[in-house]
Amino acid sequence: MQTTSKHNYSKHSVLFWCLGDKSDHHEYFNHAILLTIALLNLISGVFNYFYQHAEMYVVLSKFIISTLMVFAWYISRWHEKYRSGSLALVILTMSAVIPINWFGNGGSSGPTYFMILAILFYFSFAFRETKWLRAIVHAVVILYAITLIWIEHTQPHLVYHYPTEVARSVDLTIGFIFASFYFVWMLSVYAERFKAERNKAHSFSARLKDMAERDPLTGLQNRLVLEKEIRSHIQSEEPFSLALIDIDRFKAINDNFGHNYGDHVLCAFSELLKDTAKSYAGLGIRQGGEEFILFISGTIDPTFNATVELLNRLASANLEHGPISFSAGVVEWDDREDQITLLKRADDLMYAAKEQGRNRVLKE
Ligand SMILES: Nc1nc2c(ncn2[C@@H]2O[C@H](COP(=O)(O)OP(=O)(O)OP(=O)(O)O)[C@@H](O)[C@H]2O)c(=O)[nH]1
């Protein structure tokens, strides 16, 4: 059975069939509202029919509204016309649901207020991206409600009054219970959506951070990480040492065997560097081009040993066009110097290694 990882939500369940994918909160919720209104109108129609709490035309119109809501749900859910579904809901609500309930169900002393509040809330959700449309619809609903109150005041005979106070209380209580469930549910959908958006933002920012700190070719961390690491060690006065490594005669590798092969060599070397750094609890960093850093907390000896070990592993690496080598300078941070001075010392040593014939590691 197919499920989404987050909600363990079966794509074959009845809920999925009715409401769609839960991760698409907007549409999921809209389908839920359309079906709920259809169901509530149906229940309310049946209830009013049997208990005669409303005029016959109200009962009939509730059944018609219920059918139209199912149709709006159908085009939204199965024809991906979500906007049309929302607009159909607005039009039906304004032209039929509210006035029929108002005049046929006790006017201002009936449960229509709950419905108006629920609808205002729904519009905030359905038109959240179109600010102007949302504002217009909200204003229209509020003015509409005021107009209904005014009509009721001037033409009281137009409003159906409950036969007994008990009937009114029952209708109000049922309306209140449904409205409460609706608001609680809507708020929980909002909370869930907010949580999902927040998680998405967190994972995007983690990905961006990773992309900013990683070299795309080799997958090693880049000089930003090196700078951060050096700064933090200097701040906390924690000893550290590093090897500045430069692959020998890399230009010739590119010229003789092509740039792609050069890239392949850089990647193969990076794997070895990553491995060695890991076994010394250090960091392998691509400084740029064919220049790398092996950074290890602590004194110089482990870094020197790790670099020599890396040079030996590179000599026996299985590369298509034969073995390659590097030259490296290993230095330990002297607690008075800054990052630039430290890297300059390592660079000078690395050049000294080049001058002495390459394929070697020098330390101070
Ligand atoms: N394939 C490939 N080549 C690169 C990349 N970055 C830099 N290079 C090449 O690396 C070469 C570096 O050459 P040089 O700085 O002259 O040094 P070298 O040939 O390694 O010689 P020595 O350092 O003196 O041993 C240049 O040809 C660059 O184009 C890369 O990402 N991929």
Report phi then psi at 101, rounded to 5: -65, -40
In a domain, 277, yes or no: yes
The answer to whether 242 and 295 have CB atoms below 8 angstroms apart is yes
State whether 93 and 182 are in the same domain: yes
The answer to whether 292 and 223 have CB atoms below 8 angstroms apart is no
In a mutational test of the pocket of ligand 1, which residue from 257, 290, 355 has the highest number of ligand atoms less than 8 Å from its CB? 290
ipTM of the complex: 0.97
In a domain, 269, yes or no: yes
List the chain pLDDT tens, one digit each, 364 residues: 333 444 445 556 888 888 888 777 777 878 888 888 888 889 888 887 887 767 788 788 889 889 988 988 888 888 877 777 777 777 888 888 888 888 888 899 988 888 888 888 888 877 777 888 888 888 988 999 999 999 999 999 998 888 889 888 988 898 899 889 888 988 887 788 789 889 999 999 999 999 999 999 999 999 999 999 999 999 999 999 999 999 999 999 999 999 999 999 999 999 999 999 999 999 999 999 999 999 999 999 999 999 999 999 999 999 999 999 999 999 999 988 899 999 999 999 999 999 999 999 999 8
263 Cα nearest atom in ligand 1: 1
Q: What is the DSSP string of 106-174?
A: TGGGSTHHHHHHHHHHHHHHHTTT-HHHHHHHHHHHHHHHHHHHHHHHH-GGGSPPPSSHHHHHHHHHH
**pTM over the 0.90 mark:** no
Q: What is the pLDDT of residue 292?
A: 98
State whether 51 and 186 are in the same domain: yes
Which of 177, 210, 243 delimits the end of a domain?
210
In a domain, 299, yes or no: yes
Quote the number of domains for the chain.
2
Non-local (6+) Cβ contacts of 140 within 8 A are 94
Q: What is the pLDDT of residue 7?
A: 47
248 Cα nearest atom in ligand 1: 25
Q: What is the pLDDT of residue 11?
A: 59
CA of 289 to the centre of ligand 1 (A): 6
Q: What is the pLDDT of residue 12?
A: 60
Q: What is the pLDDT of residue 265?
A: 97
What residue's CA is closest to ligand 1, atom 15? 251
In a domain, 1, yes or no: no
261 Cα nearest atom in ligand 1: 1
In a domain, 216, yes or no: no
| Domain interval for residue 350 | 223-363
CA of 250 to the centre of ligand 1 (A): 5
Report phi then psi at 296, rounded to 5: -135, 135
State whether 155 and 181 are in the same domain: yes
Best CA proximity match to 276, nearest among 304, 236, 248, 246 = 304
Q: What is the pLDDT of residue 105?
A: 81
pLDDT tens readout for residues 110-155: 888 888 888 888 888 777 778 888 888 889 889 999 999 999 999 9
